[in-house]
Amino acid sequence: METAVALEGLAKIISYGQIAAALAIYGGLLTTLGQGKIASTAIESMARQPEARGSINSAMIITLAMAETNGIYGLVIALLLLFANPLMNRFISVAGLVG
């Protein structure tokens, strides 16, 4: 494989990885907005029915925990794509860019 073509392919892999990382971080932003909506709806429900405060609070905490995992997964995927992209190592070895 020609070096210029190989470097072009490597640049594409890096740029696609950065775009995918940005989308993963965007998912974390949407998670934050969703958590705000969950909390505000739970507070409204508690204001309407104070006697159901305990069950609403429990459901809200469980739902917030599940929503938070989505943001954490997005962050982990973004970090992997930016700093430990497995496609780059595979492409470098196949293209023969090292040694």
Q: By residue range, what is the domain housing residue 45?
A: 3-95
pLDDT (tens, 9 = 90+) of the chain, 99 residues, equals 577 888 888 889 899 999 999 999 998 889 999 999 999 999 999 999 999 999 999 999 999 999 999 889 999 999 998 898 888 888 888 877 775
CB 61 within 8 A of CB 53: no
Read off the CATH number of the domain in which 24 is found.
1.20.20.10
Please return the burial class of 78, using the count of CB atoms within 10 Å of its CB with bins 0-12, 13-18 and 19+.
Answer: buried
Could you tell me the two tokens for 88? Answer: 């780059």
Looking at the structure of the chain, the number of domains it has is 1
For the chain, strand residue ranges (E) read: none
Full-model pTM: 0.74
CB 95 within 8 A of CB 10: yes
Could you tell me the two tokens for 28? Answer: 């974390």
